[in-house]
Copies of this chain bind each other. A is one copy, B any other.
């Protein structure tokens, strides 16, 4: 099993505190040492970093910890390989372009004997179940909409598609196109919203406390989605099994 981290923010925010907790789980406080990756949207632009080294010991991860990249949408992943060798092309997050937008996807879970019919132009580069699922989702989204639909429309289409993947195994994932963050739980996922009035938070995996009141403005707001809670003194909400949530401007969208 891998570990996921997603941020959806009302204003560009750096992920140093949360990424630091995740990074420790990549080979230091936990056993997810088979590579890691992180994607940052800047408007329509994207920075994607992937690495086969364990996140806890990767020079690139250490550089990113010190170098504050601010973004409204961030997806990170530390990998414990279940299917597919430890190679760069099997490292999450995966990225494709659809409707003139980058799409980024990271998966935690295990899809057994999952060989979807990929008859369109989305084909995997590596050999993971995860990238096959991502390609199938994009293929079906592209068939359902001729151009970029609204976030609620996309959410409805995803809800219709997900049961076809979920029946093959566990399928916790994060997906973003820089406009919204979709988070789907099949076995394990948690989230919280950090907003005014901001409080302290202390990482579980490292001796680091942040007073978010000191580093944020009142208009700032961030939704954080993770596999297991990153901090010991914040209130995390568990997703229900089978739940798909979509986050916009740092808040879950209700009713979609």
Chain A positions near chain B (C-beta within 8 angstroms): 42-51, 59-60, 63, 67, 87-91, 96-102, 120-126, 142
Query: Is the CB–CB distance between A43 and B100 below 8 Å?
Result: no
Are B121 and A142 interface neighbours, CB within 8 A? yes
Would you list 18 pairs from A and B whose C-beta atoms are within 8 A, ordered by A residue? A42-B87, A43-B88, A43-B89, A44-B89, A44-B125, A45-B87, A45-B88, A45-B89, A45-B91, A46-B88, A47-B50, A47-B88, A96-B97, A97-B122, A97-B125, A100-B124, A120-B121, A121-B121
Instruction: Decide: A123 near B99, CB < 8 A? Known: A43-B89, A89-B43, A89-B45.
Output: yes
In the assembled complex, the Cα of A59 lies from the Cα of B67 at a distance in Å of: 8
Does A44 lie within 8 Å of B126, measured CB to CB? yes
A98 vs B123: C-alpha distance when bound (angstroms): 8
Copy total for this chain? 2
Cβ contact within 8 Å between A100 and B87: no
Bound CA span A124–B90, Å: 25
* Complex CA distance for A45 and B45, rounded to whole angstroms: 20
Q: For the complex, what is the distance from the CA of A91 to the CA of B123, rounded to whole Å?
A: 25
Bound state CA distance, A98 and B122, in angstroms? 8
Q: Is the CB of B97 within 8 A of A43?
A: no
Task: Kindly state the separation between the CA atoms of A44 and B125 in the bound complex, as whole angstroms.
Answer: 7
Chain B residues near A101 (CB, 8 Å)?
A: 125
Ordered nearest first, which 7 A-B pairs have the shortest CB separation? A45-B88, A45-B89, A100-B123, A44-B89, A42-B88, A63-B63, A121-B121
Q: Knowing that A60-B63, A60-B67, A63-B63 are A-B contacts, what are 16 other residue pairs whose CB atoms are under 8 Å apart, sorted by A's residue number?
A: A43-B89, A44-B89, A44-B126, A45-B88, A45-B89, A46-B89, A47-B50, A47-B51, A47-B88, A48-B48, A49-B49, A96-B97, A100-B124, A100-B125, A120-B121, A121-B142
Contact among B42, B49, B124, B125 for A45, CB-based, below 8 A: B125
Give the residues in chain B near A98, CB-CB below 8 Å. 121
